[in-house]
């Protein structure tokens, strides 16, 4: 049975993905901020069929905490089958424009902690010559717009990092999947008005699971976002900069 590490396990999309793996009797090591939520989720996965579930608290804004949890993961399991990185926060763009500290904190969570995890995970998987890395990015990482470019830039950096990592690891029998959701109805977006383009986190999770099973490189969730982004990215900058987005 697969041994799966899940960072940001209590996020809505992560829950939907790993419930599918629980039905396949996988083993889990869950990381999250809130112990009560982790306990509830652990119980849920066990009833759904997980062979074993461990959970650990981590503060993604603190690199020492992340480093400690990676150390624990290395000692718990000497073989990792899948590393799923799902944590992230959607910061208030305006707040970060006026406060660099705020921006830096967000980058710790949305970018630096992920790079830290990927560094350890890629070396571990490379050594064992097998495994699967999957990271939730965002369509916001493809083009900057004034309403959320700080968040977008962090996700954009991740997208490029994953591209390089994929090339590096492809000869080692390792898949690197970029799970790229569009607008998702989840607690992270609870304050936003929901339009037609929103998908439920349940649906996004199920599509992500299918893509992971097919060992895809990059997948848009749902797939219609591929077309939207191709159009979005082809607008000349001269026009784009004047758009209210």
Partner 1 sequence: MEKTNFNSWGRLSHKVHKGYRLGWKGEHWPESSSYLPFGLGRSYGDSCLNSQGLLLGTSQLDHLISFSDDTGELACESGVSLLELNKIFIPRGWFIPVTPGTQFVTVGGAIANDVHGKNHHKAGTFGCHVKAFDLLRSGNEKLRCSKEENSSYYKATIGGLGLTGLITQATLQMKKIKGPWIDQEIIPFKNLDEYFQLAIESDQNYEYTVSWVDCLARGPSLGRGLFIRGNHSSLASKKHSLKQPINIPFNFPDFSLNSLSIKIFNTLYFYKTFGRKIKNTVSYVPFFYPLDSLTNWNRIYGRRGFFQYQCVIPMEKGAETIRELFKVTSHYKEGSFLAVLKNFGSLKSPGIMSFPREGMTLCLDFPNKGSQTKKLMNDLDKIVLQGGGALYPAKDARMSLEMFESSFPNWREFLDYIDPQFHSDFWSRIFKK
Binding stretches for partner 1 (CB under 8 A)? 12, 23, 36-37, 40-41, 43-44, 47-48, 187, 190-191, 193-194
Nearest approach, Cβ of 17 to partner 1 (angstroms)? 15
How many CA atoms lie within 13 Å of 99's alpha carbon, on the beta-carbon side? 10
Are the C-beta atoms of 151 and 144 separated by less than 8 Å?
Answer: no
Q: What is the DSSP string of 56-82?
A: EE--TT-HHHHHHHHHHHHHH-S--SE
In the chain, which residue ranges form alpha helices assigned H by DSSP? 12-23, 35-48, 63-76, 93-98, 100-107, 113-128, 149-169, 201-213, 224-234, 237-240
Q: Compare residues 107 and 209 and give the one whose CB is closer to partner 1.
A: 209
Q: Which residues pair with 145 in a beta bridge?
A: none
- The least CB distance from residue 175 to partner 1, in Å, is 27
Helix (H, G, I), strand (E, B) or coil at 159: helix
- Beta carbon nearer to partner 1, 141 or 181: 181
Maximum Cα–Cα distance across the chain:
55
- Nearest CB to partner 1, comparing residues 41 and 86: 41
- In the complex, what is the shortest distance from the CB of residue 190 to partner 1, in angstroms, rounded to a whole number? 6
H or E stretch at 220: strand 218-221
Q: How far is the CB of 187 from partner 1 (least distance, A)?
A: 5
Provide the minimum distance between the beta carbon of 189 and partner 1 in the complex, in angstroms, as a whole number.
9
Considering the complex, what minimum distance in angstroms separates the CB of residue 173 from partner 1?
32
Q: Which is nearer to partner 1, 37 or 51 (CB)?
A: 37
CB atoms within 10 A of CB 145: 15
Select 44 or 92, whichever has its Cβ closest to partner 1: 44
Q: How far is the CB of 104 from partner 1 (least distance, A)?
A: 28
> In this complex, which beta carbon is closest to partner 1, that of residue 24 or of residue 166?
24
Nearer to partner 1, 36 or 237 (CB): 36
- Give how far Cα 108 sits from Cα of 2, 25, 66, 105, 211, Å: 29, 33, 11, 5, 28
Cα–Cα distance measured from residue 218 to residue 170, given in angstroms and rounded to the nearest whole number: 14
């Amino acid at each position: 049975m697969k041994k799966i590490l899940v960072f940001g396990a209590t996020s809505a999309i992560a829950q939907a993905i790993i419930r599918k793996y629980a039905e396949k009797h996988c083993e889990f090591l869950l990381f999250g901020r809130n112990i009560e939520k982790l306990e509830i989720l652990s119980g849920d996965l066990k009833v759904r069929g997980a062979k074993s579930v461990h959970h650990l608290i981590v503060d993604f804004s603190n690199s020492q905490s992340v480093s400690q949890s990676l150390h624990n993961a290395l000692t718990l399991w000497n073989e990792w089958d899948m590393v799923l990185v799902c944590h992230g926060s959607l910061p208030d763009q305006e707040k970060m424009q006026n406060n660099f500290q705020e921006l830096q904190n967000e980058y710790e969570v949305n970018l630096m902690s992920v790079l830290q995890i990927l560094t350890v995970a890629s070396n571990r998987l490379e050594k064992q010559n097998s495994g699967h890395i999957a990271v939730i990015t965002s369509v916001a990482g493809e083009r900057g717009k004034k309403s959320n470019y700080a968040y977008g830039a962090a996700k954009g950096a991740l997208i490029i990092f994953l591209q390089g990592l994929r090339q590096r690891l492809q000869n080692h029998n390792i898949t690197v999947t970029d799970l790229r959701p569009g607008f998702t109805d989840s607690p992270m977006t609870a304050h936003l008005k929901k339009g037609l383009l929103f998908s439920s986190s349940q649906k996004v999770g199920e599509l992500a699971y299918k893509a992971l099973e097919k060992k895809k490189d990059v997948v848009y969730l749902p797939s219609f976002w591929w077309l939207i982004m191709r159009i979005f990215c082809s607008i000349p900058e001269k026009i784009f900069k004047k758009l209210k987005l």
